[in-house]
């Protein structure tokens, strides 16, 4: 494999000189899909505190961002869904962590805007609700729009299926929901890939994140797939699902 200064031997080395207390971090993933598990674990092990974390969700207990929450390393979460993490719910109710809820599409667009260098955008989503409190609004053609500002983070941690030594990335299926936009919105972006391939092995037409957005990359060992919520239905006497 062609060597590159972007390739690091492990997650701890990739984060060693970039993490600091009080920084903002974007963490990719959608539910338990496309979560940069190794990078989050290394962030947790670094002992960094007072983080502002931007993520679609707060992970689950003992996994992903749940580890950072358990260690009380997160000061504020900017998210759209947090329903599967009991520890997070406990910390919110106890006033131990700040939460900024966003409609899911608004959160994705705020990240995309930040990555594109766009200050903000107006949307009808959330107008007239708690989401709009404290934000600039504008009436256009009789409808109220809310100004939402773009998001940029000090550090973006993303997970991809394949990547090469220059940081070109390909995601699979649900992992494309937040990882690609976050990769563009980090002042430093570190990617974790399941398969690290030689430069030139990826079809340029299939690359989702160009390497220009990625400063560091690691190959992570495969994590066992975890089920976020298991639903079981009883079968009737004839074997059919009720």
33 in any annotated domain: yes
CB atoms within 10 A of CB 240: 7
Does residue 142 register a pLDDT over 80? yes
Number of domains in the chain: 1
| β-pairing verdict for 137-140 and 143-149 | antiparallel
Task: Quick: pLDDT tens for 86-128.
Answer: 888 899 999 999 999 999 999 999 999 999 999 999 999 999 9
Q: Which residues contact 209 (CB under 8 A, 6 or more apart)?
A: 158, 160, 167, 168, 169, 171, 179, 180, 183, 184, 191
231 in any annotated domain: no
Q: What is the pLDDT of residue 24?
A: 98
Q: Select from 150, 156, 155, 149 the least CA-distant residue to 209.
A: 156
Task: Quick: pLDDT tens for 148-187.
Answer: 999 999 999 999 999 999 999 999 999 999 999 999 999 9
Task: Quick: pLDDT tens for 31-78.
Answer: 888 999 999 999 999 999 999 999 998 888 878 899 999 999 999 999
50 in any annotated domain: yes
pLDDT band per the 50, 70, 90 thresholds, residue 2: very low
129 in any annotated domain: no
| Alpha helix (H) residue ranges in 56-103 | 65-70, 86-93
Does residue 230 register a pLDDT over 80? no
131 in any annotated domain: no
Kindly report the CATH number assigned to the domain that includes residue 81.
Answer: 3.40.1080.10
29 in any annotated domain: yes
123 in any annotated domain: no
pTM of the full structure: 0.90
In which domain, by residue range, is 165 found? Answer: 11-118+150-219
199 in any annotated domain: yes
């Amino acid at each position: 494999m062609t060597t590159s200064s972007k390739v690091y031997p492990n997650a701890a080395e990739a984060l060693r000189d970039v993490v600091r207390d009080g920084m903002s971090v974007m963490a990719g993933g959608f539910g338990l899909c496309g979560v940069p598990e190794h990078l989050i674990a290394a962030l947790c092990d670094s002992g960094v505190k007072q983080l502002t974390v931007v993520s679609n969700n707060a992970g689950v207990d003992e996994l992903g961002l749940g580890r950072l929450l358990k260690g009380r390393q997160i000061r504020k979460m900017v998210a759209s869904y947090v329903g599967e993490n009991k520890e997070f719910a406990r910390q919110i109710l106890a006033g131990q962590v700040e939460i900024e809820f966003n409609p899911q599409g608004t959160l994705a667009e705020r990240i995309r805007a930040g990555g594109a260098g766009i200050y903000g955008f107006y949307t009808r989503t959330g107008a007239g609700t708690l989401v709009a409190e404290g934000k600039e609004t504008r009436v256009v053609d009789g409808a109220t729009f809310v100004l939402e500002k773009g998001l940029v983070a000090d550090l973006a941690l993303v997970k991809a299926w394949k990547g090469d030594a220059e940081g070109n990335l390909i995601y699979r299926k649900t992992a494309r929901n937040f990882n690609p936009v976050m990769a563009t919105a980090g002042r430093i972006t570190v990617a974790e890939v399941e398969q690290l391939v030689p430069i030139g092995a990826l079809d340029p037409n299939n690359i989702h994140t160009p390497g220009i957005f990625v400063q560091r990359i690691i190959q992570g060992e495969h994590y066992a797939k975890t089920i976020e919520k298991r639903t079981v239905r009883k079968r009737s006497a004839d074997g059919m699902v009720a």
